[in-house]
């Protein structure tokens, strides 16, 4: 699929199915391998200090992990849910939220897909980083579960 079409389809999917993503202004910046990026403006997501609200950062990171897995699996008859996550806030985010989901290690992704196809259910850990310039402000680890419908 054309990269821009995939990006737009993924964004529409998030907005239609998870409406708070629209209220947060979440956009899909890129679905490309190694550069999977979700963004959200500070205006809708600031806190009492004028920096990004921790809950919004966690929600955008959760969406980034979810969306990457949805796109990489490319399995229409599949539900993905989050089982657990942990997030650390190192520095305030002072401008647009830019959440990059790291590509899963192929050594983990291949057995994950095998298990999903064989047992209809598999889990995978993903990492999302939110940076400003060269500085990592937030790191998120989430365990996602994919289930055949």
Minimum distance, C-beta of residue 112 to a copy of itself, in the bound complex (Å): 19
How many whole angstroms separate alpha carbon 120 and alpha carbon 116? 5
Which CB, 17 or 106, lies closer to a copy of itself?
A: 17
> Where is 39: in which H helix or E strand?
strand 37-40
Which CB, 60 or 124, lies closer to a copy of itself?
A: 60
| Contact set with a copy of itself (CB under 8 A) | 13, 17-20, 23-24, 44-49, 53-56, 58-63, 79, 81-89, 92
Minimum distance, C-beta of residue 106 to a copy of itself, in the bound complex (Å): 26
Which CB, 13 or 106, lies closer to a copy of itself?
A: 13
Minimum distance, C-beta of residue 107 to a copy of itself, in the bound complex (Å): 25
Residue 4: CB atoms within 10 A of its CB come to 10
Contact 68, 131 (CB under 8 A): no
Which residues are within 8 A (CB) of 95 and not within 5 positions of it... i.e. 6 or more apart? 42, 132
């Amino acid at each position: 699929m054309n990269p821009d079409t995939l990006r737009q389809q993924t964004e529409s999917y998030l907005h239609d199915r998870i409406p708070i993503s629209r209220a947060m202004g979440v956009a899909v910046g890129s679905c490309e391998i190694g550069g999977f990026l979700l963004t959200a403006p500070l205006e809708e997501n600031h806190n009492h200090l004028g920096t990004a609200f921790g809950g919004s950062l966690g929600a955008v990171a959760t969406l980034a992990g979810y969306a990457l897995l949805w796109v990489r699996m490319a399995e229409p008859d599949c539900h993905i849910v989050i089982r657990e996550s942990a997030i650390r806030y190192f520095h305030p985010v002072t401008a647009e939220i830019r959440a990059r989901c790291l590509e899963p290690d192929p050594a983990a992704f291949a057995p994950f897909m095998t298990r999903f196809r064989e047992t209809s259910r598999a889990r995978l850990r993903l990492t999302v980083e939110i940076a400003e310039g060269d500085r990592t402000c937030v790191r998120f680890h989430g365990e996602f579960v994919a289930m055949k419908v």
